[in-house]
Amino acid sequence: MAMRDRLISMLSVALVATAVMLVTPTLSAGGATEQTEDILRMNDGRVLRGRIISEDRFIIVFEYIERRLGLRTKLRLNADDVLKIERDVVIVIDTAVVIKREGRRSSAVSRPSSDDPDARRYGRSKYDDPADDVPTLYLVPFKGTMGTDIHRDIYEKVVEDILSHEPDVVVFVLDSAEYSDLMLRDESEGVFDIAEYRSLVTLLKSELADYRQVLWIKDSVGLSSMLALAWGEIYMSPDARFWGMEAVIERSGADKWTDDDIRAKMSAAWTASAKSFLEYSGHSMKLADAMMWPEKKLSASYRGREVVWALNDLGEFVIDNSDKKTLALRAKAAEDLLISSGTIDSLDDLAFLLGYREYREIDGKGSALVNSYVEKWRAQFDKTKELWADYQQHLGWATGGEAAKWLGRARQDLEKIIRAMSRYKAVEIRWRTDIGPSKFDLEIEVEKLREQIQALKSGRGGGYGGGGGGFGSGGPR
């Protein structure tokens, strides 16, 4: 009965909002147009003018109108962030003045031409000239596979570039999903290395402690969701996913223990380590539990602006009542539950929700550094697989009088692979997971080959036996 009454109330509010939208403008003397608008006065001091499209207890969908520039944007706002609503406020618009303003642009501001698709900006003014004194945003991509593409090594250089530009906000853009919506693998499986990810977060949180940091989730499925929970201020694209933390349990290997007590303790240790990321953000540990453990349910109740979580289905709002699968969040649900601060389509939308009427995106090296790193380490990894095949072929040729020659070639192949591993940690990591031998294994083999070559040259040894040594002929997996 209570749920039905709530739905009826929400429907009534939506109908009232629709009626407001249908108010017909009237013409007044002098070519002016008389209209009505809704005004939202926000807790942070912003005043938003436009019209309420729909609203309920938690969310207000609002069409913000920038009349000076003729721009509109649809926003989803948390109702608790609104201090006061003024409805159906009568305004008078002088159409002649509006037309005159539309034809005048300041030469000091770099704006796209009307033919540019980006010219249809949705509520924001983006400045491109560094001389403009406006808030600055620095975008940093978290894109690709966790543990290889997303690795501390490259972000140390990104941090240096951020510090040189001193932005107002650092925006980390997360796009890392191991599975598609159809549960088909899109990427290589992320590397299970919680210590590495904690090291990355510590670097960013400590070195950039003086800067406002926000996370924009475009997609997050798998171990990346554990990383995401280290940020308290999260925004999500409309079709973004935020799920997949069952990977923490699955890849820890804790379930391989046959003793129930030991298995439980190992699982608890791994989940506690994963939940340590939330110490940076303040998100509920119960949220993390529901995202990792299939058997845990989740519900929420509201105490003012605070969400009170419960690992059961007894709360006011049941979010996950299944004991067979983990919690999986989409953008709208994350926003309704105040996990996300807003749903955004573009950087313009993000700037608006951050409270900036104008902004400038810093033309830093961050994206170029990350993209170049990913391209280069992957190219090096592909090269090492070719070298591995060459190594095995050269071993096979190491017979008779030319044994020393081909063993030398095999040794050089391994040395090149080792150099690639030393240059890119990602190459070493992917070798361990995809091929088998570690960097240490390869170094030991190089020493064995060196000793064998010396023995052959000194006459203390015969042929190598037609590839009878080395790692065998299995090749890359």
199-223: per-residue pLDDT in tens? Answer: 999 999 999 999 999 999 999 998 9
**Quick one: what percent of the chain has pLDDT higher than 90?**
47
pLDDT of residue 115: 45
pLDDT of residue 71: 65
pLDDT, mean of residues 321-335: 89
Tokens of 432: 């361990």
Judge whether residue 137 has pLDDT over 90: yes
Cα separation, 142 vs 370, in Å, equals: 8
Residue of 215, 176, 193, 165 lying closest to 429 (CA atoms): 193
pLDDT, mean of residues 32-53: 84
Please give the DSSP secondary-structure letter assigned to residue 285: H
Task: For the chain, give percent helix, strand, coil, nearest 5.
Answer: 45, 25, 35
Confidence of residue 19 (pLDDT cuts 50, 70, 90): very low
pLDDT tens, residue by residue, 71-92: 677 788 888 788 889 998 888 6
Q: Specify the higher pLDDT residue, 249 or 129.
A: 249
pLDDT of residue 81: 81
Residue 374 neighbours by CB under 8 Å, 6+ apart: 143, 144, 149
Q: Rounded mean pLDDT of the chain?
A: 80
Confidence of residue 263 (pLDDT cuts 50, 70, 90): confident
Record the pTM.
0.70
Residue 7 neighbours by CB under 8 Å, 6+ apart: none
pLDDT of residue 32: 57
Name the pairing type of β-strands 169-177 and 136-143: parallel
Judge whether residue 8 has pLDDT over 70: no
Tokens of 166: 């001193």
Q: Which residue has the tokens 């390869």?
A: 442
Cα separation, 476 vs 464, in Å, equals: 23
End-to-end CA distance of the chain: 60
Residues forming beta bridges with residue 220, ordered by sequence position: 176, 242
Judge whether residue 10 has pLDDT over 50: no
pLDDT, mean of residues 185-190: 66
pLDDT of residue 97: 39
Residue 280 one-letter amino acid: Y
pLDDT of residue 95: 47
